[in-house]
Amino acid sequence: MLLHLKKIFTPEQVKEIREHLNSAEWLDGKLTAGNASKDQKTNQQLAQNNPLAIKLGDFILQTLGQREDFMSSALPAKIFPPMFNRYEGGGAFGFHVDNAIRQVPNTPVKIRTDLSMTLFFSEPDEYEGGELIIEDTFGQQKIKLPAGDMVLYPSTSLHKVTPVTRGARVSAFFWLQSLVKDNEQRRTLHQLDQSIQALRQDLGEDERVQNLIWVYHNLLRQWSATN
Ligand SMILES: O=C(O)CCC(=O)C(=O)O
Ligand SMILES: [Fe+2]
């Protein structure tokens, strides 16, 4: 399942975030690449302990926490603090699969990467190339979203970012461990939740809706793990 979440940030918020990011200290992205992906990666990143990255990352997580579409589709248990990258001058990231386990810096917290996310801060017409290509059972998808939008995709997917040959592509990228590891189970719960919300609109606090809510919770109880 690949999900496009629209307008996480308003154009005004994107503008402000971009201004901060423009004056930040960008480092070679190879510094955080595993051995296998080092050769594949020619971009720049903010250090994970960069105060701006920490502040913006917290703001992203706070904003996402209030989005029902995100909470319902991702069912996050633990979220890795967002990181920030920039591709320009031919910068790219070749095909790879993300590491399965990520340790949150300076903590004992380990996160299994179930879902990967890219939150775009550059408008598609600001740069050439820079498509996020995702390959999975649903075929190959080419993702290039408006600034302020985010894509969520299974971390099991092979993916790459094509070379940016004009302008710059700036984004936040991060991972989460879901309460529901299985993509199909998580998708079913999301579908059920969406149907319940739609029925609730029409029927209000109806007994039949209440029954479906119990079904939702009982499925979630069966399929979830909180650690
Ligand atoms: O820049 C992106 O959209 C994805 C980055 C990525 O795949 C990674 O850092 O593992
Ligand atoms: Fe990746």
Protein residue whose Cα sits closest to atom 3 of ligand 1: 118
Can you give the pLDDT of all 227 residues of the chain as single tens digits?
799 999 999 999 999 999 999 999 999 998 776 666 777 899 999 999 999 999 999 999 999 999 999 999 999 999 999 999 999 999 999 999 999 999 999 999 999 999 999 999 999 999 999 999 999 887 899 999 999 999 999 999 999 999 999 999 999 999 999 999 999 999 999 999 999 999 999 998 899 999 999 999 999 999 999 98
Q: Of 115, 159, 164, 174, which is best to mutate to test ligand 1, by the most ligand atoms within 8 angstroms of its C-beta?
A: 159
Token pair in block for residue 179: 């309460």
What's the rounded Cα separation, in Å, for the pair 213 and 219?
10
- Res 39: pLDDT: 79
CB-based pocket (< 6 A), ligand 1: 85, 93, 98, 118, 132, 159, 161, 171, 173
DSSP bridge pairs for 86: 44, 170
* Cβ partners under 8 Å of residue 39, min gap 6: 94
98 is in an annotated binding site: yes
What's the rounded Cα separation, in Å, for the pair 114 and 98?
10
CA of 69 to the centre of ligand 1 (A): 22
What's the rounded Cα separation, in Å, for the pair 106 and 66?
27
Q: Of 46, 97, 118, 142, which is best to mutate to test ligand 1, by the most ligand atoms within 8 angstroms of its C-beta?
A: 118
67 is in an annotated binding site: no
pLDDT in tens, 69-112: 999 999 999 999 999 999 999 999 999 999 999 999 999 999 99
How large is the ipTM? 0.99
- Res 35: pLDDT: 66
Lateral strand order in the sheet of 139-143: 93-96, 158-161, 132-136, 139-143
Q: Of 161, 164, 169, 176, which is best to mutate to test ligand 1, by the most ligand atoms within 8 angstroms of its C-beta?
A: 161
CA of 86 to the centre of ligand 2 (A): 14
187 is in an annotated binding site: no
- Res 162: pLDDT: 98
- Res 140: pLDDT: 94
CB-proximal residues (5 Å) to ion ligand 2: 98
- Res 40: pLDDT: 85
Ligand nearest to the CA of 117: 1
What's the rounded Cα separation, in Å, for the pair 116 and 97?
10
190 is in an annotated binding site: no
pLDDT in tens, 181-194: 999 999 999 999 99
CA torsion angle for 182, 70, 126, 156 (degrees, to 10)?
-10
